[in-house]
Amino acid sequence: MKILFTGPILDFSGFAHASRNFLRMLTASNKLDVVARPLRYDQLDAGQTFNAPVWMAPLLTKQLTNIDIVVQMTTSNIEAVPVPGVVNGLYTFFETDRLQQAWAQKANEFDFLIVPSRFNAETLLRSGVHKPILVAAPPCDMNDYSQTYKPFEIPNAGNRTVFYNICQLSTKKGIDVLLRAYYAAFAGMPDDVLLVLKTYVNMQGRHNDLEIVKQYINGVKARCRIPVPNLPPVLPLVYTMSDDEIHGLHARGDAYVCSSRAEGWGIPVFDALAHGKTVISNNRGGLADFVSKENSLIVGGTTSFFYDMPHPDPILFTGIEQCFEPSPAELAATMQHFHLLKRGADAGQLNEQNKTEWDAVLQRRQNATMMAGRLDYRVVQEKIVEQLFAVYDSWKTTGVARYAMPEAQPSLEENL
């Protein structure tokens, strides 16, 4: 069976990294003849290029003839267009609990849907999408996480506890919550900790991003009105990083902190877990499929509605869509407790109770890498390819695509 895969396979984003892994998974099957074409979303920094890996390069030049099935991987299904005469699949991510009518109608134009999480499948079903849905977590390559990377260099960081976050500067990512929690937790402790924000405002025209991010950080700091002479530092990183540089940031950080209000999956969170880092996060939305108390330090909060969430699409992130509001106080307490445990462990000065708690933190890191290993593309490849053959065979025979649906899960036709 010949399959055409399109996605941001030549970009630098986390979503691009996930699209490359999905393509790599397809090429690992000896049952598929794979062709690939890139979608381009990112604007690279001056002088920056992306070189396709050796295994990918031949796929980009194969002829688009005799295609049986097309899978388009995009976060904006409005721009996805089914190809006439073949089986069409849309692999897409959503961060909200419901879709507006135009998005649902577009999804229903495809023969089948692939989404990363149960949360996304529920979003589609709730919004009136009636095409078959496959829940397939983005596959990873565990070889990426088993390598030794040069830790990202942070001048003058010393032995500070380094908290870090990787995301767009957006209301839905909750950076305001993270900054409030960080300043409250470590007020008057400017030499003990550091928060690294790998962020951007928009992947197009990013020449003013650093100034915008600094203004945002200073605005949150000012509105906190914390009456101490010195607050802990924040290091913003706004340039485009290569995959190896991102791995290096994971190697340098002590704890990844996710303060998102909405996630369809959470690629940087998954990467941090796969690297065996301590993760501080909620486990709502798409995060619920892989973030748990067994592998992360869980922060609570409450269900809310999107508010003050600017977006170029007027029907996205509106006040009728639900999201999660993480608790700044709980996040602050969790970050502070981790720092104190780490500092005590580094100095060999933990009492029996704290040593038990620190051991539990270390055990979570081991659990995290074991969890990630179950999503290695070599592990999940057979199941996903089996479902792709099922939809093709069904479409060829009956004109309607259907997955090989296990009886135990009638609403979500398969869960991987």
% of the chain with per-residue pLDDT over 70: 94
- In the prediction, which pLDDT does 335 show? 98
pTM of structure: 0.93
Q: How far is CA 64 from CA 3, 19, 71, 390, in A?
A: 10, 19, 13, 22
Taking residues 179-198, report their average pLDDT: 97
- In the prediction, which pLDDT does 49 show? 73
Taking residues 219-230, report their average pLDDT: 95
Question: What is the pLDDT of the chain when averaged over all its residues?
Answer: 92
| Closest by Cα among 91, 126, 132, 85 to 108 | 132
From CA 2, how far away is CA 137, in angstroms rounded? 23
- In the prediction, which pLDDT does 409 show? 39
Whether 103 has a pLDDT exceeding 90, the answer reads no
Whether 88 has a pLDDT exceeding 70, the answer reads yes
Whether 375 has a pLDDT exceeding 50, the answer reads yes
- In the prediction, which pLDDT does 279 show? 98
- In the prediction, which pLDDT does 13 show? 81
Task: Convert the pLDDT of each residue in 15-52 to its tens digit.
Answer: 888 999 999 999 999 999 999 999 887 666 666 677 88
Q: Phi/psi of residue 255, each to 5°?
A: -145, 125
- In the prediction, which pLDDT does 256 show? 98
Task: Convert the pLDDT of each residue in 195-224 to its tens digit.
Answer: 999 999 876 666 789 999 999 999 999 999
- In the prediction, which pLDDT does 410 show? 34
pLDDT band for position 405 (cuts 50, 70, 90): low
Higher-pLDDT residue of 406 and 227 is 227
Task: Convert the pLDDT of each residue in 309-346 to its tens digit.
Answer: 888 778 888 999 999 999 999 999 999 999 999 999 99
Higher-pLDDT residue of 188 and 88 is 88
From CA 117, how far away is CA 378, in angstroms rounded? 19
- In the prediction, which pLDDT does 133 show? 96
Q: Any idea which of 285-294, 337-346, 398-407 has the lowest mean pLDDT?
A: 398-407
Higher-pLDDT residue of 248 and 76 is 248
Whether 416 has a pLDDT exceeding 60, the answer reads no
Taking residues 371-387, report their average pLDDT: 96
| Residue 6 contacts residue 36 (beta carbons within 8 Å) | yes
Q: Phi/psi of residue 21, each to 5°?
A: -65, -40
Letter for the amino acid at 268? P
From CA 114, how far away is CA 120, in angstroms rounded? 9
Higher-pLDDT residue of 393 and 52 is 393
- In the prediction, which pLDDT does 205 show? 63
pLDDT band for position 406 (cuts 50, 70, 90): low
pLDDT band for position 284 (cuts 50, 70, 90): very high
DSSP assignment of 12-54, as one string? Answer: -SHHHHHHHHHHHHHHT-TT-EEEEEE-----PPTT---PPPT
Please report how many Cα atoms fall inside a 13 Å half-sphere around the Cα of residue 266, on the Cβ side. 32
